[in-house]
Amino acid sequence: MATFFIQITLVTLVVLTFYGFSSFDYKGVSLFEGIQAAAVTVKTMFLEPHFQHFTFVDGLKQVFVTLGLAFLTTLFGAVIALFLGLLAARNLSSNGVSMIIKGLVAIIRAVPTVLWVLIFAVAAGLGSVAAVIGMTFHSVSYLVKAYSESFEELDHGVIEALRASGANWWQIVFQAVIPSCITYIISWTFMRFEINFAVAVAMGAAAGAGGIGFDMFMASGFYYDLREVGGITYFILIFAIILEVMANRIKRKLRATV
């Protein structure tokens, strides 16, 4: 029965997809012409990149500004989320406190990061301050869920043994919980750092936070220079790949030492 419903769902999605493409209002442009124009745009961006309104060094500096924004928000979010994650873990806190914290962070996660940034921009104004606060707010909610679930996977017998030996809450945390979950903590934190880098690029344009995202916004929306957009995209892709390589190496080293 489950297989039948899965097949019906897939067929329905395929039919709706074809119907959607056939019923769109393309404003007099045929689908083939649109695909051809998109291919020309992609070719112009990625095969003919250049820097006209800023130099290579300026672009490199702006990428590091974006990285700094992502690093700050990840650092602030990780420190706050570590404490809240301990309180949200059912094996380290009461059920009431755990439910309240998890409920609040679930509400925060339900709101996109850009909306939190714009909300804080009302008080702090558009700029890097509102971006840092808004991104940190969302990072905390993301990491609290990740950390607390990692803490809850710890063997309950270890915690009970420490409590029976007279260890207090802080001793349990620093002698058992943190050492056992350090690999998960670093992995989740670095993953959030990668997410924050991508978000920081968008916030550079949406919230005026600066960095390479603002340069991309100017190149695409103000100068309409597709070649410069392609050059900036290469900058972002290269640094995103570097972050991914660094994350994999750190994870391998941590697994080797544990």
Higher pLDDT among residues 155 and 230, named by residue:
230
Q: Rounded to an integer, what distance in angstroms lies between the CA atom of residue 192 and that of residue 81?
A: 12
Which of 23-32, 105-114, 139-148, 152-161 shows the lowest mean pLDDT across its residues? 23-32
Contact call for residues 154 and 43 (beta carbons, < 8 A):
no
Question: What are the structural domains, with CATH classification, of the chain?
Answer: 2-47 (no CATH), 56-257 (1.10.3720.10)
DSSP string, the chain: -HHHHHHHHHHHHHHHHHHHHHH---TT--HHHHHHHHHHHHHHHHHS---SSS-HHHHHHHHHHHHHHHHHHHHHHHHHHHHHHHHH-TTTS-HHHHHHHHHHHHHHHHS-HHHHHHHHHHHH-TTHHHHHHHHHHHHHHHHHHHHHHHHHTS-HHHHHHHHHTT--HHHHIIIIIHHHHHHHHHHHHHHHHHHHHHHHHHHHHHS---SHHHHHHIIIIIS--HHHHHHHHHHHHHHHHHHHHHHHHHHHHHHHH-
Q: Is the pLDDT of residue 211 over 90?
A: no
% residues pLDDT > 70 (the chain): 95
> What mean pLDDT comes out for the span 159-167?
81
> What mean pLDDT comes out for the span 159-186?
84
Higher pLDDT among residues 124 and 153, named by residue:
153
Quote the mean pLDDT of the chain. 84
Instruction: Calculate the alpha carbon distances from 118 to 94, 108, 114, 197, 213 in Å.
Output: 34, 14, 6, 18, 16
Q: Is the pLDDT of residue 258 over 60?
A: no
% residues pLDDT > 90 (the chain): 16
pTM exceeds cut of 0.85: no
Q: Is the pLDDT of residue 23 over 80?
A: no
Q: Which of 58, 36, 33 is nearest to 219 (CA)?
A: 58
Which of 22-31, 55-64, 184-193, 212-221 shows the lowest mean pLDDT across its residues? 22-31
> What mean pLDDT comes out for the span 40-68?
85
Q: Which of 142, 138, 113, 141 is nearest to 206 (CA)?
A: 113
